[in-house]
A and B are shown apart, each in its own frame.
Chain A
């Protein structure tokens, strides 16, 4: 299958919603497709070279750098961005933990940090070990240096998501994740 002159139609499931678009150029990254075509500007373009992590999204449930992925290559994929985490006004446990623990200052890296933390907790490799959390979050840079708060937030979110607790509205936190 070659890139047609008329553009390449792709469909992505973004935050649970099916979104179709036509790429007129194969160079469009997943990040640019989200930001420029689908108006989801929560995922940030920091370095655009896979070094800062500000563009982190979940691709089929797994965190990746959206700046180093071609949109055309991910036709049919399911993407979760920062816009898809909260349930209405109820913040996702990771979002709530970042607020509670001052996990940010200027906020530019925060969507990427939060998506990366959601991915990290899902991967289940870090658990409640702060050293493993720091290592697992090393692909997200924070120029404000909010790392101490970020580590605390990730640990708190991990604890909240693994405790048999309920959110306002009676939903199990695990279900909301």
Chain B
């Protein structure tokens, strides 16, 4: 780890003022310190925001939405009974990520801002356009079973590894930001950038800007009774997704009202499948309809290497997530959160 200057901020304003070229914000550090230990990132200054009071609050808003403070811990949020009841797919996604120790430390904003798990990005002996613009991409032609099938470019085929962000994208979450130029908001679905020819620019954050909260709008909870997050991993727990899907449905009689679908670990951002959602709206659910929706969600997918299997995997996980969501959200998060190998859900909510 390189030497760095350490600044402890007492307020958001202090944090923003202390930030500058070469600085990074430190919350819990579960991703940042790991990257620094590997020499992948070498900030000259850490601005410690972990003690800013009030930034970990989870509050219900007057309009019925919820505002999740940037420092709210992943575990705290997932185990908040009111939150988990209103946004069960978000809770299940959180509990399917990392380990209990990491979820106890990792924060809301840190999860959104976590870097890719592309092994060529982590390996400083490999070329990486994200680490060093113009250096090339060691992943092209390499071991690509985890890499992108949507939205990738010649410059970068990495994926965004977050579970949490997938249902957030599906539920139209909004990212609240403060920075040198004041406050602003960005829809989470527009927050992460696709690589294009500038994979080193990962988000829409301007230098010095800080996420202060993530908000879910009032209508996000109307999917509570028919929501699932499913995640295919190489082992059942404590592994990043190969592909994942968050699904929310409203059912009106024998028809679907609205559908929300987002895919994870298929692109450098959580991938909202709006065409698939439109196909499902106001339709009678059936295996054929779900297959059609999955086809639409993956219509633009192309392998970025030896990873064509991820396309079919993603298609099937969309169908399975839709099928499980239609059956109903389980009363309790399954013992193996988000696992397609978990026992069939029992005690579905009315």
Does A27 lie within 8 Å of B237, measured CB to CB? no
> A59-75 CB contact bits vs B (8 Å, 1 = yes)?
10011110011101100
- In this assembly, does B289 line the interface, its C-beta being within 8 Å of a C-beta of chain A? no
B100 & A25 in contact (Cβ 8 Å cutoff): no
A56 on the interface (CB 8 Å rule)? yes
Distance A116 CA – B103 CA, assembled complex (angstroms): 13
Give the number of residues in B that approach A within 8 Å (Cβ atoms). 34
Do residues B100 and A73 form an inter-chain contact, with CB atoms below 8 A?
no
Report B336 CB to chain A, min CB distance, Å.
6
* Structural contact, A50 and B6, CB atoms closer than 8 A: no
User: Is the C-beta of A80 less than 8 angstroms from some C-beta in chain B?
Assistant: no
Please indicate the chain B residues that have their CB under 8 angstroms from the CB of A68 in the complex.
28-30, 33-34, 102, 105
Q: Which residues of B have CB within 8 Å of A132?
A: 335
Q: What is the distance, in angstroms, from B248's C-beta to the closest C-beta of chain A?
A: 24
Residues of B17-41 at the interface with A, using a CB-CB cut-off of 8 Å, are 26, 28-30, 33-34, 37-38
**B6 with A3: CB separation less than 8 A:** yes
Are B335 and A65 in contact, with the CB atoms below 8 A? no
User: What's the least CB distance linking B337 to chain A, in Å?
Assistant: 7
Query: B288 contacts the other chain (Cβ, under 8 Å)?
Result: no
Chain B nearest CB: distance from A28 CB in Å? 10
Contact of A69 among B7, B29, B236 (CB under 8 A): B29
Would A27 and B337 count as touching, CB distance under 8 A? no
Q: Which residue of B is nearest A120, CB measured?
A: B100
Contacts of B105 on A, CB cut-off 8 Å? Answer: 59, 64-65, 68-69
Within the complex, the shortest CB–CB distance from B199 to chain A, in Å, comes to: 24
A139/B33 contact (C-beta < 8 A), A1-B7, A2-B7, A73-B48 known: no
Contact B34 A139 (CB under 8 A): no
Say yes or no: A64 contacts B33, CB within 8 Å: no
Residue in contact with A63 in the complex, picked from B8, B38, B104, CB distance below 8 Å: B104
A49, A63, A119, A129: residue with the most chain B Cβ atoms closer than 10 Å = A63
A131 neighbours in B (Cβ, 8 Å): 335-336
The reply to whether the CB of A138 lies closer than 8 angstroms to some CB of chain B is yes
Q: Is A29 an interface residue when CB atoms closer than 8 A count as contact? A: yes
Q: A25: which of B3, B33, B237 is its contact (CB, 8 Å)?
A: B3
> Which has the most chain B C-beta neighbours within 10 Å: A26, A120, A132?
A26
Q: Is B291 an interface residue (CB 8 A)?
A: no
Say whether B50 faces chain A, with CB atoms less than 8 Å apart: yes
The number of A-B residue pairs with CB atoms under 8 Å apart is 104
Pair A63/B100 contact, Cβ less than 8 Å: yes
Q: Are B238 and A49 neighbours in the complex by a CB distance under 8 Å?
A: no
Q: Which of A2, A135, A139 contacts B335 (CB 8 A)?
A: A135
- Complex: A68 Cα to B37 Cα, angstroms: 10
Q: Is B317 at the interface (CB under 8 A from chain A)?
A: no
Number of interface residues of A (CB under 8 A): 38
Residues from chain A with a CB closer than 8 A to the CB of B38 are: 49
Contact B5 A70 (CB under 8 A): no
Check A135/B237 contact, CB under 8 A, given A53-B101, A72-B6. Answer: yes
Cβ of A17 within 8 Å of any chain B Cβ, yes or no, is no
Contact of B33 among A8, A29, A123, A136 (CB under 8 A): A29
CA distance A65 to B102 in the complex (A): 7
Cβ contacts under 8 Å, A49 to chain B: 34, 37-38
Is the CB of A125 closer than 8 A to any CB of chain B? yes
Docked complex Cα distance between A132 and B236 (Å): 12
Q: Which residue of B lies closest to A52 (CB)?
A: B99
B79: interface (CB < 8 Å): yes
Q: Is B299 an interface residue (CB 8 A)?
A: no
Q: Which A residues lie within 8 Å of B30 (CB)?
A: 50, 65, 68
Contact of B99 among A8, A27, A69, A138 (CB under 8 A): A138
Q: Assuming A26-B4, A131-B335, is B101 touching A63 (CB within 8 A)?
A: yes
| Contact residue among A2, A73, A135 (Cβ-Cβ distance under 8 Å from B29) | A73
Give Cα A134–Cα B235 distance, bound, in whole angstroms: 13
Give the B-binding residues of A (Cβ under 8 A): 1-3, 8, 25-27, 29, 48-50, 53, 56, 59, 62-65, 68-70, 72-73, 116, 119-120, 123, 125, 129, 131-132, 134-140
Would you list the 10 A-B pairs with minimal beta carbon distance, nearest first?
Answer: A139-B99, A138-B237, A26-B6, A131-B335, A3-B6, A138-B238, A1-B8, A64-B105, A139-B101, A132-B335
Q: Supply 19 A–B pairs (Cβ within 8 Å), ascending by A.
A: A1-B10, A2-B7, A26-B3, A26-B6, A29-B33, A50-B30, A50-B102, A56-B101, A62-B104, A63-B100, A65-B101, A70-B33, A70-B48, A123-B75, A135-B337, A138-B99, A138-B100, A139-B238, A140-B99
- Given A29-B33, A116-B101, A139-B99, 13 more pairs with CB closer than 8 A: A53-B99, A56-B101, A62-B75, A68-B28, A69-B28, A73-B50, A120-B100, A123-B79, A123-B100, A131-B335, A134-B237, A139-B98, A139-B238
